[in-house]
Amino acid sequence: MVAGLRGATDSIGQAAVAVRIPRTLMAAAAGAALGLSGAIMQGVTRNPLADPGILGINNGAALAVVIGIAWFGIAAASTFIWVAILGAGLTAVFVYGVGSIGRGGATPLKLALAGAATSVAFSSLTLAVVLPRADIAGGVRSWQVGGVGGATFDRIGLVAPVMAAGFALAMLSARKLNLLALGDDVAAGLGEKVALARVTAALGAILLCGAATAVCGPIGFVGLVVPHVCRLLLGVDHRWLLPASALGGAGLLILSDIAGRLVARPSELDVGIVTALVGAPVFIWIVRRQRVRDL
């Protein structure tokens, strides 16, 4: 009898480990990708409010995935990744184009407003696509909240190469982002190809954001909160800021996942809800800072 109880306990422990290890790894990978992509976007646009969620890029990737599922019958997880990356890329171009219209070009305020409007519009379009499809509505709505509950080693293996490529592009862009922070004219005067530098860094951010959204859903505010904290602690040198943002994002999402499981026991809160509760006050604080234009 004791042996039987011990065997049952061992089986429960093994099952818990089998679930929690991929879940923790996925939270770390997605958090690192989102934190790093946020730092890149803030560097590329010189916009302290830039974040994959605020600029609508997460919702653009999500809309692309939902359209792929509902209209084209996409079912393979590997296809989701590339569809999400395509949606993220097109959204980034659209938001930057809209934010650049008018006098002054793509100012931080105009980019934030363009991104917020795009995010709301794409969220509404996603609902419009999903609501008539009762067969996919439940799964899509759960995925839209943003979470790591369905993590598996297979999913991690699918996104790992894409995230690694995005991370490599980001690290290669660190010095270029330092030059861009001095202004386009100064960067060009120092021999930097400004347009190429922006495209390279943005591509890295899109790969990271698209891959994270494909497997976890749109998780907001990680790319906003983490780079700001790292910037306050380490300064503005992107050679340190980018890897620190990746580590900070991984830590934040792991802690958010743990908090979501502890607070709502025996149920759980998805990490997307927890990061929103943390990130919304930080976003308000950043907007209200008098020195926001100097960041």
pLDDT value at residue 13: 59
pLDDT tier, 10 (very low <50, low <70, confident <90, very high otherwise): low
pLDDT value at residue 12: 60
Given a cut of 90, whether residue 285 has pLDDT beyond it is no
DSSP assignment of 109-151, as one string?
A: HHHHHHHHHHHHHHHHHHHHHHTT-HHHHHHHHHHHH---TT-
pLDDT value at residue 20: 81
Least confident range of 172-181, 195-204, 247-256, 282-291: 282-291
Average pLDDT over residues 174-185: 88
Helix (H) or strand (E) holding 104: none
Write the CA distances from 33 to 37, 62, 76, 172, integer angstroms: 6, 16, 22, 15
pLDDT value at residue 282: 80
Given a cut of 60, whether residue 3 has pLDDT beyond it is no
- Triad 227, 246, 165: Cα angle to 5°: 125
* Sign of the CA dihedral with 75 first, then 77, 79, and 81 last: positive
Question: Strands, DSSP E only, in the chain?
Answer: none
pLDDT value at residue 237: 92
pLDDT: is 49 or 98 the higher one? 98
pLDDT: is 216 or 288 the higher one? 216
pLDDT value at residue 278: 84
pLDDT: is 197 or 292 the higher one? 197
Given a cut of 60, whether residue 291 has pLDDT beyond it is no
Prediction pTM value: 0.87
Average pLDDT over residues 3-17: 53
DSSP 240: H
Residues shown for the chain? 295
pLDDT value at residue 295: 46
Average pLDDT over residues 230-244: 92
Amino acid code (one letter) for 17: V
Average pLDDT over residues 27-38: 95
* Residue bearing tokens 């991370």: 167
Domain at 24-145+152-213+224-294: CATH architecture: Orthogonal Bundle (1.10)
- For the stretch 171-174, contacts whose Cβ atoms lie closer than 8 Å and that sit 24 or more positions apart, written own/partner, are 171/242, 171/243, 172/200, 172/204, 173/40, 173/43, 173/197, 173/200, 173/201, 173/204, 173/238, 174/238, 174/239, 174/241, 174/242
Please state the domain extents for the chain: 24-145+152-213+224-294
pLDDT: is 295 or 109 the higher one? 109
291 vs 227: CA distance, rounded Å: 16
pLDDT value at residue 136: 80
pLDDT value at residue 166: 95
Q: What is the tens place of the pLDDT at every residue in 35-54?
A: 999 999 999 888 877 888 88
What rounded mean pLDDT belongs to the chain?
A: 85
Average pLDDT over residues 72-82: 82
Given a cut of 90, whether residue 9 has pLDDT beyond it is no
